[in-house]
Structure 1
Amino acid sequence: MSDPISTLSPAGDRHFDGLADKFAASLYGGARGELRLALLNRLLPEMLDLHGQPLLDVGGGLGQQAGWFAVRGHAVTLAEPSGEMLARARASLAGHEVNLLQAPLQELTQLAPGPWPLIACHAVLEWLADPRSALATLAGLMAPGGQLSLMVFNRDALRLSNVVKGNLEKALADRLEGKGLRKRLTPISPLTHAQVEAWSAESGLAIREVAGIRVFADYLREPPQSEADREQLLALEQRYCRVDPHWRLGRYLLYTLERPLRSSEEATA
């Protein structure tokens, strides 16, 4: 039997060439994907100060989030390393004025340096070999006073999900990361809230808002079958997604990070 074929980039990151169909079906198809987008539709205007400022969408994938910002008057640049994903984004964004750039996050310092008043980086860091350095790179792209909408795959929620499935030994050993092999879509670098807190502080960013995306949905024994059940679930998610302790077990954690206008050193000089 041959060894599994790795789909990691030379930098050790997970890109999605050859996986666009599975990515679209697994992450956006069905009730969970619809719920994720519905929650973002509600939360982004609450958590961000939006006034049509230019936006850099990092790892923009299929283009859903870029389209959301474009229709609200933002001049959007979508950066995505996968040519296959970028082609799908181009098709889905037909009619929108969105600048498309094929580039990984690490090259944006040269290719899209900004500084940007608004950056979105949703479900990207968990697919990178070095998410800590990636967050520092994002911080360097931000204008003073700029905002970063960051969404990451929650390691603590992944642990609970494994327990619910009966994978007790795996959860106890904390073997939660995917390996980036074949067509499996378990993130290679799921993150904890503590890591986001620490790395944000290192990069000079302040956490202004936080919410959990899909706090309850992924733990249901059966997905909601009727439209009424789906509406009830959405209402439940919306009610508790920003309430402690519930947000801490969202499948994704959504943050608004801000680069202060002046550093603390400058303010006290």
Structure 2
Amino acid sequence: MHSIPTSTSYELTQAGDRYFDGLVDKFSRSLYQAPRGELRLAMLDYLLPQMLHLTEQPVLDVGGGLGQLSGWFAQRGHAVTMAEPSQDMLAHASAWHAERSAEGAWPVDKLRYLAAPLQLLPQQAPGPWPLITCHAVLEWLGEPEQAVQTLASLLAPGGQLSLMVFNRDALRFSNVVKGNLKKALSDQLEGKGKRQRLTPISPVTHDEMCQWVVNNGLVMEGVAGIRIFQDYLRHPSTERSEQATLLALEKQYCRQDPHWRLGRYLLYTFTKPEADV
């Protein structure tokens, strides 16, 4: 069993992963009740229908967090299994989902929950799955490359994997913009995962992702950057009209080279080739 951190002490699990018990309010406040969180969700709403072939197929949402992505798919007719190791996150997500279901957003039976880390999914949710989503999870794991192998093993032939990772190159660039020159020069960018700070412990590069998916027999179908401009603004926009213009900019350039490469997050679609007949 993994111990649950207290409100003042946040330890990595035995596997070297970071869970988020005790941090639901911080996550909700800093990630989703702020312009950067709104932009991230708006970009996913814009990009996922472009980057995925959606046919109301069953979805495994790995590390579903506060439940936004699971709800997005449930609202579009998918039966969603949300896996999340943090009991606090699961409780928040299921309560919010129940409210939305009661409002008629989706039938109550569209969502089920697994209190499980990614490493246990081959036993608890083996599939194979036609669609797996894993957003902002790999960067909180001690062994992100191993996680890609696990996700690939859960995917059905012809299935799609929607993977979003925290971009190490963007983290370096952001540190330079903020004046943290020595930190950027030493390339010691990872967080420690032991306090309330939300700097990922395993930020990932695009080159690493390319190598890992090739090693596991997956094919890259598409990539986009999310928050490619927002994090570098000298004076973050506060007016709604400015935020709307920023969103339009992000949409226009999120899949264009070189801009997507400096997105705070990189959003990928990978597929598993059909078996040879």
Scaled to the shorter chain, the TM-score interval is: over 0.9
Question: 2:53 matched to 1:53?
Answer: no
- Residue of structure 2 in register with 1:20 after alignment: 24
- Residue of structure 2 in register with 1:36 after alignment: 40
- Residue of structure 1 in register with 2:259 after alignment: 246
Question: 2:66 matched to 1:62?
Answer: yes
Amino acid aligned to 2:242: D
CA distance in 2 between counterparts of 1:84 and 1:225 reads 31
- Residue of structure 2 in register with 1:76 after alignment: 80
CA-to-aligned-CA distance 1:87-138 (integer Å, 9 cap, x gap): 0000111124200110000000000000000000000000000000000000
3-state DSSP class of the match of 2:190? coil
3-state DSSP class of the match of 1:35? helix
Contact kept in structure 1, 2:142 and 2:202, CA below 8 Å: yes
Deviation at 1:258, TM superposition (A): 0.3
Tell me the percent identity.
Answer: 65
CA distance in 2 between counterparts of 1:243 and 1:93 reads 35
Amino acid aligned to 2:86: S
Amino acid aligned to 1:122: H
Deviation at 1:5, TM superposition (A): 3.5
Deviation at 1:20, TM superposition (A): 1.2
Which residue of 253, 256, 259 maps to 2:269? 256
Question: 5 Å matches for 1:88-127?
Answer: 88-94=92-98, 95=101, 96=108, 97-127=110-140
- Residue of structure 2 in register with 1:228 after alignment: 241
CA distance in 2 between counterparts of 1:35 and 1:6 reads 28
Contact kept in structure 1, 2:10 and 2:196, CA below 8 Å: no
Displaced runs of 4 or more, over 6 A: none
Amino acid aligned to 2:125: A
Question: 2:223 matched to 1:210?
Answer: yes
Deviation at 1:6, TM superposition (A): 3.8
> What TM-score results when the alignment is normalised by the length of structure 2?
0.92
CA distance in 1 between counterparts of 2:211 and 2:86 reads 30
CA-to-aligned-CA distance 1:111-170 (integer Å, 9 cap, x gap): 000000000000000000000000000000000000000000000000000000111111
Amino acid aligned to 1:36: R
CA distance in 1 between counterparts of 2:117 and 2:163 reads 16
CA distance in 2 between counterparts of 1:99 and 1:222 reads 42
CA-to-aligned-CA distance 1:178-219 (integer Å, 9 cap, x gap): 000121110000000000000000011000000000000011
Which residue of 121, 129, 140 maps to 2:153? 140
Which residue of 85, 91, 96 maps to 1:87? 91
CA distance in 1 between counterparts of 2:201 and 2:228 reads 21
CA distance in 2 between counterparts of 1:145 and 1:110 reads 21
Deviation at 1:24, TM superposition (A): 1.5
Structure 2 gaps of 5+ residues are 1-7, 102-107
Counting matched residue pairs gives: 261
Amino acid aligned to 1:215: I
3-state DSSP class of the match of 1:93? helix
3-state DSSP class of the match of 1:134? helix
Contact kept in structure 1, 2:20 and 2:89, CA below 8 Å: yes
- Residue of structure 2 in register with 1:150 after alignment: 163
Deviation at 1:54, TM superposition (A): 0.2
- Residue of structure 2 in register with 1:177 after alignment: 190
Deviation at 1:27, TM superposition (A): 1.8
3-state DSSP class of the match of 2:255? coil
Amino acid aligned to 1:161: S
